[in-house]
Homo-oligomer: A and B are copies of this chain.
Amino acid sequence: MTLAQGSGARLPQGSGPQGSAAGGPRLGSTGDVAPDVFVEYGKRFVEWIGEFLANPERYPVLARVSPGEVAASLPASPPVQGESLDTILRDFESKILPGITHWNHPGFFAYFAISASAPGILGELLAAALNVNAMLWRTSPAATELELRALDWLRQLLGLGDGWHGHINDTASISTMLALAAAREAAGLDVRERGMAGRTDLPVLRVYCSEHAHSSVDKGAITLGIGHENVVHIPADAEFRMRPDILRERIVEDRARGMLPLAVVATVGTTSTTSIDPVREIAAVVADSTRAVAATASAARPWLHIDGAYGGTAAVVPEMRGVLDGVDLADSFVVNPHKWLFTPIDCSALYVKRPEILKRAFSLVPEYLTTRETAPVENLMDYGVQLGRRFRALKLWMVIRAFGAEGLAERIRAHCALARTFASWVSAERDWEVVAPVPFSTVCFRYAPEGKSEAEREAINSRILDAVNASGTVFLSHTKLNGRYVLRLAIGNIRTEERHVAEAWRLLRDAAGVAR
């Protein structure tokens, strides 16, 4: 079925019930499109999405358009008069859809695979219609209270202890930046008020993370004025986990040089290999690091932030709860329901132990935003940069309720099992190798025929990747580990089944036969 009413070329403008004589949607001269027209088209959208969800494999997962092709198909200027929804939808199908890379496709194995589940899509639909801004409690009490409640549910699902304050941000990039800003505030340097430039009383600030940490740690430090060179990338062990002993050394060295260790970011599920930093040991290093120094305000222990944007979700599986071991010792923790918890993008959950510090870093209430309510009422705009806050809790709440704790666990468990199955196929095959442990649902591997140089292997694997991605049935991405080019298969879409993973493996082996 198509979104537009009829076949493209033959449909006269404005002929349907939605059309006005001028070809625009039926609407008053100043109002919105008429509600009955909305209902008519909304149902058509819903049917189209239903078919899309039932048969996502109709579409190539990786878009096949050339650069500039979509742009060239679009008029250079906006229309002077309103156009009918039929016309718009015809263009959506003919011009936009071919240029979509289908993240909601069961063959999407690149980066981290994500899902818009049916309950999540319905949640977004309702939230778009209500269009509330959850900046203040008053501006939608239910949005604020549901957000706090849904995040407490998620905390329980993950097996974390009491004493966490959770709120939703758009992305983990922002959540991690806020955590680093809280670390800066906690250091008691009066950066909020006085800034950092032109001051002679500030030490250099240092942030520590694994060499495998996500680039958002670097971006956060850059944004906050900490500086990219002050992000210390700690070497990892053979299994790609941050080495606490080296972390300890670097903190001591930096202190000795007069620098201030501001924050340590440990990752549960790094981006390349999904390795799990030893959080408990790192927390011990962080706790110890206060002893070595003078007891000035700015010499307090570093802030410990945990990036579990992808991997943290696995803790909803009771037998995998150990992946978050030690996280309760941290100051902040981020996990993204929009990554691996079937919630449409965007939805990132940031938990902090001391919300008052985050609030001290960001709260700023001009007169026009003052309200009468006092504690325990919370105005969630106080916890971050953004004043505009979508009602993201609604979709998360609907997802958690529709699947339940056991249903969520079952899906995550299945993804991890699929990844192990794929890894076993790779391991069993001559000239192929799994190059990192598989603690979650992502496998790093490569084709490594004997007698080839590393440069040749990179070229071969790159060709394999291109060939596989050109299939239209699966989409994988790559990374580099210790300088070696490797392929990644990341399972996370809710509709992925074993047959999709098997198809990826078949394509990979076929491509290797040609590429070598």
Q: Give Cα distance in the complex from A138 to B103, angstroms.
A: 11
Interface assignment of A17: CB less than 8 Å from any CB of chain B: no
CB proximity of A55 to chain B, nearest CB, Å: 9
Interface assignment of A88: CB less than 8 Å from any CB of chain B: yes
Complex contacts, A79 vs chain B, CB 8 Å: 400-401, 404-405
Q: Nearest CB to that of A141 among chain B residues?
A: B99
Complex contacts, A216 vs chain B, CB 8 Å: 385, 387
Q: Name the interface residues of A91-123: CB closer than 8 Å to any CB of B.
A: 92, 95-104, 110-111, 114-122
Do A191 and B65 form a contact, CB below 8 Å, given A77-B156, A388-B338? no
Interface size class of A (residues with CB under 8 A): 35 or more
Contact at B142–A65, with CB atoms within 8 Å?
A: yes
Complex contacts, A499 vs chain B, CB 8 Å: none
Q: Name the interface residues of A376-398: CB closer than 8 Å to any CB of B.
A: 376-377, 385-388, 390, 394, 398
Q: Name the interface residues of A343-370: CB closer than 8 Å to any CB of B.
A: 344-346, 348, 361-362, 364-369
Complex contacts, A203 vs chain B, CB 8 Å: 197-198
Contact of A53 among B47, B129, B346 (CB under 8 A): B129
CB proximity of A91 to chain B, nearest CB, Å: 8
Max chain B C-beta neighbours (<10 A), residue from A83, A385, A411:
A385
**Chain A positions 148 through 165: 1 when the CB is less than 8 Å from some CB of chain B, otherwise 0:** 110011101100000000
Contact at A204–B193, with CB atoms within 8 Å?
A: no
Contact at A92–B338, with CB atoms within 8 Å?
A: no
Contact at B46–A42, with CB atoms within 8 Å?
A: yes
Contact at B82–A388, with CB atoms within 8 Å?
A: no
Listed stretches A23-31, A289-297, A325-333; interface member = A23-31
Do A70 and B122 form a contact, CB below 8 Å, given A33-B402, A131-B114, A197-B204? no
Q: Give Cα distance in the complex from A229 to B191, angstroms.
A: 10
Complex contacts, A202 vs chain B, CB 8 Å: 197-198
**Chain A positions 297 through 334: 1 when the CB is less than 8 Å from some CB of chain B, otherwise 0:** 00000000000000000000000000000000000000
Complex contacts, A287 vs chain B, CB 8 Å: none
Q: Give Cα distance in the complex from A30 to B96, angstroms.
A: 31
Interface assignment of A219: CB less than 8 Å from any CB of chain B: yes
CB proximity of A72 to chain B, nearest CB, Å: 9
Contact at B129–A218, with CB atoms within 8 Å?
A: no
**Chain A positions 13 through 46: 1 when the CB is less than 8 Å from some CB of chain B, otherwise 0:** 0000000000011010111111111110111011
Contact of A387 among B76, B88, B173, B387 (CB under 8 A): B173
Do A45 and B77 form a contact, CB below 8 Å, given A68-B145, A141-B63, A494-B32? no
Contact at B131–A31, with CB atoms within 8 Å?
A: no
Interface assignment of A130: CB less than 8 Å from any CB of chain B: yes
Interface assignment of A436: CB less than 8 Å from any CB of chain B: no
Contact at A131–B116, with CB atoms within 8 Å?
A: yes
Listed stretches A240-248, A421-429, A474-482, A504-512; interface member = A474-482
Interface assignment of A172: CB less than 8 Å from any CB of chain B: yes
Q: Nearest CB to that of A221 among chain B residues?
A: B195
Do A172 and B388 form a contact, CB below 8 Å, given A81-B407, A129-B53? yes
Q: Give Cα distance in the complex from A204 to B199, angstroms.
A: 7
Interface assignment of A275: CB less than 8 Å from any CB of chain B: no
CB proximity of A313 to chain B, nearest CB, Å: 14
Contact at B130–A229, with CB atoms within 8 Å?
A: no
Contact at A96–B204, with CB atoms within 8 Å?
A: no
Complex contacts, A143 vs chain B, CB 8 Å: 99-100
Contact at B229–A194, with CB atoms within 8 Å?
A: yes
Contact of A386 among B42, B53, B130, B174 (CB under 8 A): B174
Contact at A78–B131, with CB atoms within 8 Å?
A: no
Q: Give Cα distance in the complex from A126 to B38, angstroms.
A: 14
Interface assignment of A451: CB less than 8 Å from any CB of chain B: no
Complex contacts, A68 vs chain B, CB 8 Å: 145, 376
Complex contacts, A69 vs chain B, CB 8 Å: 141
Contact of A153 among B78, B116, B405 (CB under 8 A): B78
Q: Nearest CB to that of A41 among chain B residues?
A: B122
Q: Give Cα distance in the complex from A117 to B25, angstroms.
A: 12
Do A38 and B118 form a contact, CB below 8 Å, given A78-B157, A133-B345? yes
